[in-house]
Amino acid sequence: MRPTVHDIAAAAGVSLATVDRVLNQRPGVREITRLRVEDAIRTIGYVRDVAAANLAKGRVYPLVFILPTNDNSFMHSLHAEVLQARARASAERTDIRIIEVPAFDPAALVRALEPLLEERPSGVALVATDAPDVRAAVDRLVIAGIPVVTLVSDLTGSRRDHYAGVDNVAAGRTAARLLGRFLGGRAGHLLVLAGSMLVRDHRERLEGFAAVMAEEFPRLTLLPVLEGRDDPELANAFVSDALSKDDAIIGIYSLGAGNRGLIRALKARGQGQDLTVVAHELTEYSAAALKDGTIDVILNQDAGHEVRSAIRVLKAKADGLGVIAAQERIRLDIFVKDNLP
């Protein structure tokens, strides 16, 4: 049975009127009380249907999701989650359209965004490439009153309404701490495999990773970042070449999504057991590599939560309602072979 506003009031020890004010971000609530209510929302798992008030009107929310088209297992799962959301369209009163664009291509992303000014959907969600032209296109939509949510990777300095994704600096710092601890004080080189420095999530993960390594693990040296564009073939070639040329590599951080290529390179050299490897995104391939010891740790974000969050936020913005921060916080999960779902 789904939690209700009565459950929130009971858990927080406040009145229903106070819960209503917090949910709708109206004044008249002390900050300590607001925090208590938001903590209760998070604890009991309350999920609000921000469009419930429009049910009687039969309102439908046309939403656009702009997703990259590359051979990226995580993006495939994100795409699948949007398709599932589209299958729930009648229940959620949404009309979801998917636009696919080449990955890491700012110009293609701008071309997909520009016609939406005329179409005026209820909201737009996109996996952002961090570039000035993309920021300008997003800003034009927001200024025109069209809500925009960035998915997975944020857009620096833009007017976007919300970001549905993990804290990527914290994710990079977490990866560094785990990798440094696992290596147990050894000295050596670390290989970093990224997709592209054009996307903010990859830059932020690298920023957090490099900071912790410099502060706490000075015996570990970061090699120049390899940008595999989330392409398994490129990732395989880059990692194979690096390992063949540098015997001092003792750890790998895969901060993007080229894990199939990484795994292939490690297995081909028979070095999966000799290297400590931390990677992102739990997929069929990375889970299998976690089980057989090729990868040691996977940091994961829930694609389904991100898509559902984007839809909730876009509907809320379309209705002029506030967003419940606790409900929309995307968690970073840490998996080893022992706690795989």
Domain with residue 59: its CATH number is: 3.40.50.2300
pLDDT value of position 28: 84
Q: Are residues 297 and 311 in the same domain?
A: no
Pairwise CA distance, residues 113 & 134, whole Å: 8
The total domain count for the chain is 3
**Collapsing DSSP states into helix, strand and coil, what is residue 66?**
strand
Residue ranges in the chain whose pLDDT is less than 70: 48-58, 271-273
Q: Quick check: is 338 in a domain?
A: no
Give the pLDDT confidence of 161-219 residue by residue, as tens digits: 999 999 999 999 999 999 999 999 999 999 999 999 999 999 999 999 999 999 999 99
Residue-number span of the structural domain to which 212 is assigned:
168-301
pLDDT value of position 56: 45
Q: Are residues 160 and 65 in the same domain?
A: yes
Q: Quick check: is 223 in a domain?
A: yes
Pairwise CA distance, residues 43 & 40, whole Å: 5
Report yes or no: 287 and 65 within 8 Å, Cβ to Cβ. no
pLDDT value of position 144: 96
Q: Quick check: is 337 in a domain?
A: no
Q: 78: closest CA among 228, 281, 262?
A: 281
Q: Are residues 9 and 84 in the same domain?
A: no
What does each C-alpha distance from 83 to 16, 102, 177, 307, 314 come to in angstroms?
Answer: 36, 19, 36, 10, 17
Q: Are residues 93 and 179 in the same domain?
A: no
pLDDT value of position 334: 98
pLDDT value of position 218: 96
Q: Are residues 58 and 176 in the same domain?
A: no
Q: Quick check: is 341 in a domain?
A: no
Q: Quick check: is 16 in a domain?
A: yes
pLDDT value of position 271: 54
Q: Are residues 238 and 285 in the same domain?
A: yes
Q: Are residues 107 and 190 in the same domain?
A: no
Q: Are residues 25 and 99 in the same domain?
A: no
What does each C-alpha distance from 317 to 52, 55, 93, 209, 248 come to in angstroms?
Answer: 14, 16, 15, 34, 52
Q: Quick check: is 254 in a domain?
A: yes
Q: Are residues 248 and 309 in the same domain?
A: no
Q: Are residues 176 and 278 in the same domain?
A: yes
